[in-house]
Structure 1
């Protein structure tokens, strides 16, 4: 079952960048648990001097569809058509450590020691259906599922265990964001039913 919101306006300022991606979004309880982990990391590692992600923006990206100067109905329609073709079962994803990725502002991320096979299968299935719709996808060398907690001035010295939380994943969403402005807009939601 899906819910599609009205499309974004066809006219946008030239300086805007419209980002479109599929993601896993946590439910309220999981979002609260992730925020608790973020607060713990912030307390334990003030040297990160980080910009902390607001809880309503916690997500795990599945497939990045691109940045656009204007988000068109065609792009949203193709992504939605692909989403309707995705078949995957719900699964549990255990998140149990934080680490830093490399970068100018090293992201501090929450990850799991083991990546569930159904998560990898969901991404593969989604990628295949997206290719069939004719969407051009960025080639990603490696898929590293994670939830970004912060963008920091310094990286964590090492991966750090955190109290294990289990995210019961039962849906994925199509997200639109104008980079640097406002909250995420969920354009559609699709349940996982096997």
Structure 2
């Protein structure tokens, strides 16, 4: 079971390949994300600081730790904030049933992209995580929001965007994350303002 709350003051980081570049036309982005608590966020920050020190030659744009999160589902870019999509997403979130689980992130790597994202990942993906992704995907499709649904899911937390080279796979001090919160995020592409529209606590 999950409990929902509206939280307009939170400011998580956008985590989608290519970063948050300015666009000539204002674009409103919506996505679901897993949100760390303060203790986990501090662990993620320590891992990023150590990685930055180890990769001194890597030219990268490092992300504000306040914006760390793990993207679960992307709901598209739109010329305005689409309240119909927001409400459909809330219906999907309200219908979701999921339990909290533990996720250990123990290595850093890169994805391909215009600015290759430097990400933290786990060698083992806990079974409840893809189950949560699949159940939310099915709920979004039932709510009429299947147009942007990905067919695969690679759990990660983006900590930087490289300005050139790719980051080789690198072990990190393990980060232990008790995943127990899901959020619906709104951002305007190219701006530093991010808003949590709704959040749900995974309560089992």
> Do the aligned residues in 2 keep the contact of 1:172 with 1:191 (CA within 8 Å)?
yes
SS in 1 for 2:5: coil
For residue 129 of structure 2, what is the aligned residue in structure 1? Answer: 119
Unaligned residue ranges in structure 2 (runs of 5+) = 9-23
| Contact 2:187/2:193, CA 8 A, preserved across alignment | yes
Q: Residues 118 and 74 (structure 1 numbering): CA distance in 2 closer, same or farther, change over 3 Å?
A: same
Runs (5+) with no aligned partner, structure 1: 7-13
Indicate whether 1:155 and 2:166 are aligned.
yes
Q: 2:194 aligns to what? A: 184
Quote the offset at 1:15 in angstroms: 1.5
Give TM-score, length-normalised by structure 2: 0.87
Cα offset, 1:5, TM superposition: 5.0
Match of 1:91 among 83, 94, 101: 101
2:4 aligns to what? 2
Q: CA deviation at 1:64?
A: 0.5
* Count of aligned pairs between the two proteins: 187
Relative contact order, CA 8 A, sep 6+: which one is greater?
A: 2
Query: Counterpart in 1 of 2:120?
Result: 110
Please name the residue that 1:41 is paired with.
51
Is residue 2:145 matched to residue 1:145? no
Taking structure 1 as the reference length, the TM-score comes to 0.92
Alignment match of 1:76 (pick from 61, 83, 86):
86
Distance 2:182 2:149 in 1: 21
Q: Distance in 2 between matches of 1:138 and 1:81?
A: 17
CA distance in 2, matches of 1:2, 1:73: 17
Q: CA RMSD in A?
A: 1.6
Runs of 4+ in 1 over 4 A off after TM superposition: none
